[in-house]
Structure 1
Amino acid sequence: MSSAINCGKVAIVTGGGNGIGREISIALAASGAKVVINDIGVSLTGEGGSATPAEETKRIIEQAGGEAHINTDSVADWESAKKIVKSAIDKYGRLDIVVNNAGILRDTIFHKMSVDDWRTVIDVHLNGTFYVSRAAAEIFRKQESGSFVHMTSTSGLIGNFGQSNYSAAKLGIVALSKSIALDMNRFGVRSNCIAPFAWSRMTDSLPTDTPEQVKRVDAMKAMTPDKNAHMAVYLGSDLAAEVNGQIFAVRNNEIFLMGQSRPLRSVHRSDGWTPDEIHEHAMPALKSSFYSLERSGDVFSWDPM
């Protein structure tokens, strides 16, 4: 980072041992923050557990002159999430930034998805984001400052195949972030989302069965995880004091402000509507504004710049 914009601040990064989380942890430390690296070291599907990834991230931070602390509690349980926040207070005496990055994948086509695959992904992504944010909320309220940075995904904002659990969780995080921003703005607390594009464990499982898929994966490999770290560092800093309730996407060297749901078109009938009249009049008037069944790769169809 070019300046110590978070000097003296304390940050928690969940899932901070690998991929995007590692790069955000390193960048926050480089910006002057003391970082709690929360990572239980599980596989992409949430199995196993080891502190090794977090230890490697901590070593990188300390070799560069930064300061970091490891926490291995799970975000997917309320009592455990409270321990994550407590570890920051116990170690550093304060908390200023929470980056909700922890995540797993259990990709399955919808009609074959198990209840366990649904619940596990929702627990880590959506419930985990709520638990850690809620645990930090009282601290932020009392000190009248704080920044939440949540990782969403274009799989939720736009759509994708075989990811109904992940997509639902990631879109839920957007609504949660906006609610936090509305509820806590009066306390000087901010909440924003990043939809990252990056080659990481989360994308390493993408299929490469066709030439088109190979081309897409090759393009994604150029989008290294560190590209997203700068946005997270900025949103956590006082430079972003006027940025609240927003959704950003970072795609290599591009930054997008993503839309939020608003009315597109309307039709009115003074006597109300019957099903037949909806079919004959309302739908033809509205149809030109329908969204097509696109996935993220269809919308972001150009090569990353």
Structure 2
Amino acid sequence: MHKHTNILVLATALLLTGGATAQNTQQIAGDIGRLITDALFFSDKYITPAADAAVYQQSSGWITSPRERGLWDVTFGLHTNVFFTPKRDRVFTVYNDDFQFFQLEEGFRAAVPTALGNDKQVYLTGMIGNDPVRLETPEGIDMETVAYPYLQGSVALPWGNELVVKYSPKVKLEKSNYQVYGVGLKHNISRYFKSLEEEKIHIAVLAAYAKEDVSFNFLNVQTDYGSLGINQINGLVDTWQFQLSASQQFWDDLEFMGSFIVNTSDVKYRVTGETGTIEEIVPLQAVLNDRLKTIYKTRINYIGEFSAAYNIGNFNIQTIVAFGKFVNTNVSLQYLFK
């Protein structure tokens, strides 16, 4: 009932401002409702692959070594993630039957890029009352690999614990922005088994929480009643991660590590950015964001991770490969302050 009330408010506002007559107010209300429903359908298909990918991007590199550090030792590192966008998540197919308001300008079926896809665009058309609406679908990032840097630091605490913090300022990628920050707590397990320590085998567990924010240019919808103000959409992800890692040291300067990761992510969506001129009549962004709650979702991922690290004095060079639904690599240069 709430969503229908919002749509009727919009239609009534158009009527009062001269954008509609009493005879077609009901038709306009229905048209606007169907347009919003199509925008929700398109939002889900377009940005969900990018939100899923963001989970993998933040999952890598939390544990740089399961070894127990010296008390109050501080590690600081510059990390670079390189994410490979799989072909299956770069495009989705739409049919005229998928839409309530829009129709494809050409044909009855089209391949449309997701946020991870190419820059191909498709035209959709519809009518609000007697007024035509023409929409060009948003482009994808058109990148087979996505690289971005972030900073990560840790401090060794008593009883085999280590506090880990990662942070990335808002990174400008092609047609999108990405930001992640989070905090984790690592605990060394092998400290309880002297035989493992003697064999230079190290085991640790980690619990971490991270927030990811990924945004993309979205639907630039122009109507005779003004622009609708849905030019940018954000995927907001809250992730809890649990990780078990084990490593083997060789010659004190080479370490190989394997990890198993499970995380659960709550994915939310918001229309953001500059509001449209239609906001002078009604707060359409608020209406859309309320409706977007219907496509919120929770994801559970199981991820394997393998890494190799080489120590040169207080410096550490590490490469990590994480694999599961996606493949993500991480390269870092770390410095240990003792």
TM-score (ref. length: structure 2): 0.26
Q: Could you tell me the TM-score, scaled by structure 1's length?
A: 0.28
Higher helix share: 1
Larger strand percent: 2
Larger Rg: 1 or 2? 2
